[in-house]
Amino acid sequence: MAEQISRDLEQLCSYLTTLWTRFLESVTLQPEVTAFLSQEHHTLRVKRFSEAFFYMEHEKETALTFQEQL
């Protein structure tokens, strides 16, 4: 029984690896995906920069309670 479970797990891992490889081949370096990921990366960088700028410009207490004051 343990041998059957081991074989089944091995087969499932093989199928999963094949499926993941096909997914990567179909998605990687597609212009639409690359453009989306580039835009998302840029948006997150701008957000982090603005948060850091806000923190540098305000006292710690003000920065921590900013959302509560809105």
Chain segment 21-64, per-residue pLDDT in tens: 999 998 887 899 999 999 999 999 999 988 887 777 766 676 66
Cα–Cα distance, 53 to 28 (Å, whole number) = 34
Q: How far is Cα 41 from Cα 20, in angstroms, rounded to an integer? A: 23
State the Cα–Cα distance between residues 60 and 64, nearest whole angstrom: 6
Q: What's residue 63's pLDDT?
A: 62
Q: Is the pLDDT of residue 65 over 70?
A: yes
